[in-house]
Structure 1
C-alpha cells in the first residue's frame, strides 16, 4: 500500500484535542463538506503539506485547455493536491464573456473536487472605479477601497459584483449535487503597493471594512456556505504585530498565510532564515487562534536552481515550529519560455521535483483520500 496513503489515513484519524473547540469555521452554516475539508486540512498538516500549483489544469508550458492535463501530472503522474484558479474574469468585461468564464471555472473547480483535489480561489480584481486593471498605475488608478466600502459612492456597484461572485459560488456542485468547498483568498498581498487595494492606497480601517463587508455579504446576505476565507499578506512583515496590522479579527478569517517569493530565490536572493521565521509567525498565530495556516504563494521563476524543491522549499517548510496545510507555487505560462514555476517534461529541474514528490511530507492529488468526509 502507498506509504503516503497510510500517513494520510493516520492523520485523518488523529483526534486533535488541543484547541479543538475553538478551531471552527467562521460560517456556522458551512456545508458538511466544507467543515470536513477544514478539519482534514488541519489533521493532515500535522505530518504533511499539500502541494499546489496555480492554473495547473487550465494551461501549462506550451499548451492550453487539454482535458485532465497538468505539467505536474505529466512529470510525476498526479495533479497537484491543490489547484489555484482566479475569478478576475467575473467583472469589468462584457456579460457574455463573464458567463463563459463562469462556466469554464465551474468545470475546473468541480472537476478537481470530483477527483478528490482542493481548489483555492484568488481574485485579481480589476479596479471597479477606474482604469488600471488590478495593478496600481500612477495617474490612472483611483484608490478604490474607500469608494466601494459601505458609505462609498461605488458601494452599490461592488454589491452587484459580489452578487455575481456569490451566484458562481453557489453553482459549484459535485457529482451528487453537493456544494463544492473552495478556499477563497481575496485581496492578497495587501501590504504591498502594487495592487489598488495595497497598503499605500487605503488605510488599515478601510481595508478591514472592505474585508468584513465582503465576508458578511457573501456569507450572511448572499448565502454562500462553501467558502473557507484566507488572509494572505506578502512577506513584508517581521513580527506578529506587523502581520496583524490589517487583520480584520478572528471572526472574519479561517486561514492565515503569506506569499513569499522575495526570500526564496527571486532575483538571486535567498534568505531562508527569514522565510522560516515568517512561516513560524503565521503557523504560531494559526495554532493559537484556531486557524489553518498555509504558504499561499511562492516559487522560483524558470526554476534556475536545479535543487530548489528540496534544498530551498522543503528546507524552509520542514521545521518543527511550522505547521502548514498547503503550499502553492505560481503558474506556468502558455507562451513565455521563462515564466513557469513548476517543471514540465524535459526540464532540468525534473529529478529534484520527483524527489520532492516522493517525500512523505508532500501530498499530491493521488495521495488524498476522503478529504471531504
Structure 2
C-alpha cells in the first residue's frame, strides 16, 4: 500500500471505529435483536424518519380491538412503522385486571414485531403513594418520587412494581424464539408540573436518582435486556443546558427525545422556528454522544389544519441538522368526536396525509425490512 494513502485512510478508520464504539447501548448484555434495532434506527435516520401513532392497533376512531386494524392502515394501506403502547394499566388496578392488561399488551408487541414494526412504550404511572392517577392534583397527590427512590418510605413497593414490569418484558417471546426489543420511555414530560414526577414535585437529584435506579434495577438486577431507554422532556427548553437539567448522564440513556405540541399548532399557535431549534438541540446532542434521537410526541388535535402533515410536521423535520429516528403522534380516541391525531376514513385531512405517506423521507411499517437483523 502507498504510505501516503495509508496515513490518510488509517485516521478515517480509527475515527469510524471510535464512533462505532461510542454508539453502544447502555446495556452491554442487550439482545442481538435489540442491538440491531438500535443500529438500524440510527442508520435509517440519516435519510428517513419512521412514522408512529399511539395506540394505533389497539383502537381508533369509532372502533376498538379489531384484528390487524389501524386508522392509518385504513387510510394509506400500511400500519405506522412505530406503534405506541402504555404500561398505565400495570398499576392501580386489581391483580386480575393487571393480568389481562399484560396479556393484551404482550400480544400487541409480538404482533407488531411479527409484522416487522417497532413498539415504543410510555408509562402513565398511577401515583404509587397517594390516591389518584398520574396527573398531579394539589389536594390529593403526594410527591411520590421522594418516596420511591432508594431510602424512601415506598422504595420496596416500587421494587415490586419494577419486578412486575421486568417479568412482563421477559415474557415478550416471539414465535421465532427471540425476545422482542422495545423502546421504553418512562417519566416523560418531566419538565412540566402536570405529572407527579414533574419538575415542581421533585428535586433535580431526586429525579436523576429515580431514573438511574429504574434503569439499573431493570437491567442489572431484574435481567431485562430488550429495552432501549428513551429520555423525553416536553418542549419547555431553549438551550442544551436547559434540556440537560435533569439528564441523568449518557451512560443511562439510549435515546434522546422531546414531546412538542405547543409549537406545532396547539390552540392555533404555531412557532415552527422554535420547534426546529428544539429538535436541532436534541439531534445535535444525540449525534455527538452516539445516541438515537426521536420526536417522541407531537400532533394537532382534530387535524383542523388541512395541510398540517406537510406544511408543518415535514417542514419542521426536514430541516438541516435534524436527524430523528421516529416521530409519533398521539392517539385516536374511540368515542370522542374531537380527540384524534391521525386521519381516519372519510376525514378531509387524508389527501395531505397521503402526500406525507408517499414522501420518501417518511417510513411506515410496509417500508421496514429486517429492522431486527
Q: Aligned residue pairs: how many?
A: 359
- Please name the residue that 1:43 is paired with: 43
CA shift in 2, pair 1:50/1:236, >3 Å: same
Larger radius of gyration: 2
Comparing 224-233 with 171-180, greater Cα deviation is found at: 171-180
Matched, 1:332 2:332: yes
Contact 1:257–1:282 (CA under 8 A) maintained in structure 2: yes
Helix, strand or coil: the match of 2:200?
coil
The superposition leaves residues 129-162 of structure 1 with CA deviations (integer Å, 9 ceiling, x where unpaired) of 0012100001100000000000000000000000
The superposition leaves residues 247-275 of structure 1 with CA deviations (integer Å, 9 ceiling, x where unpaired) of 00011000000000000000000000000
Matched, 1:221 2:221: yes
- Please name the residue that 2:5 is paired with: none
- Please name the residue that 1:263 is paired with: 263
Normalising to structure 2: TM-score of the pair?
Answer: 0.95
For residues 287 and 176 of structure 1, the distance between their equivalents in structure 2, rounded to whole angstroms, comes to: 33
Contact 1:256–1:291 (CA under 8 A) maintained in structure 2: yes
Helix, strand or coil: the match of 1:214?
helix
For residues 362 and 225 of structure 2, the distance between their equivalents in structure 1, rounded to whole angstroms, comes to: 29
Q: CA RMSD in A?
A: 0.9
- Please name the residue that 1:126 is paired with: 126
State how 1:114-153 maps to structure 2 within 5 Å. 114-153=114-153
Helix, strand or coil: the match of 1:296?
strand
Deviation at 1:125, TM superposition (A): 0.1
- Please name the residue that 1:185 is paired with: 185
- Please name the residue that 2:12 is paired with: none
- Please name the residue that 2:77 is paired with: 77
For residues 85 and 321 of structure 2, the distance between their equivalents in structure 1, rounded to whole angstroms, comes to: 29
- Please name the residue that 1:279 is paired with: 279
State how 1:164-175 maps to structure 2 within 5 Å. 164-175=164-175
State how 1:6-155 maps to structure 2 within 5 Å. 19-155=19-155
- Please name the residue that 1:12 is paired with: none
Contact 1:264–1:270 (CA under 8 A) maintained in structure 2: yes
The superposition leaves residues 342-369 of structure 1 with CA deviations (integer Å, 9 ceiling, x where unpaired) of 0001100000000000000000000000
State how 1:186-205 maps to structure 2 within 5 Å. 186-205=186-205
Deviation at 1:176, TM superposition (A): 1.2
Contact 1:34–1:226 (CA under 8 A) maintained in structure 2: yes
For residues 129 and 297 of structure 1, the distance between their equivalents in structure 2, rounded to whole angstroms, comes to: 27
For residues 110 and 16 of structure 2, the distance between their equivalents in structure 1, rounded to whole angstroms, comes to: 30
The superposition leaves residues 219-249 of structure 1 with CA deviations (integer Å, 9 ceiling, x where unpaired) of 0000000000000000000000000000000
- Please name the residue that 1:310 is paired with: 310
Contact 1:181–1:227 (CA under 8 A) maintained in structure 2: yes
For residues 117 and 86 of structure 1, the distance between their equivalents in structure 2, rounded to whole angstroms, comes to: 16
Contact 1:212–1:252 (CA under 8 A) maintained in structure 2: yes
Deviation at 1:17, TM superposition (A): 6.0
- Please name the residue that 2:3 is paired with: none
For residues 352 and 17 of structure 2, the distance between their equivalents in structure 1, rounded to whole angstroms, comes to: 37
The superposition leaves residues 67-107 of structure 1 with CA deviations (integer Å, 9 ceiling, x where unpaired) of 00000000000000000000000111110000000000000
Contact 1:16–1:43 (CA under 8 A) maintained in structure 2: no
Matched, 1:162 2:162: yes
- Please name the residue that 1:356 is paired with: 356
For residues 308 and 20 of structure 2, the distance between their equivalents in structure 1, rounded to whole angstroms, comes to: 35
Helix, strand or coil: the match of 2:21?
coil
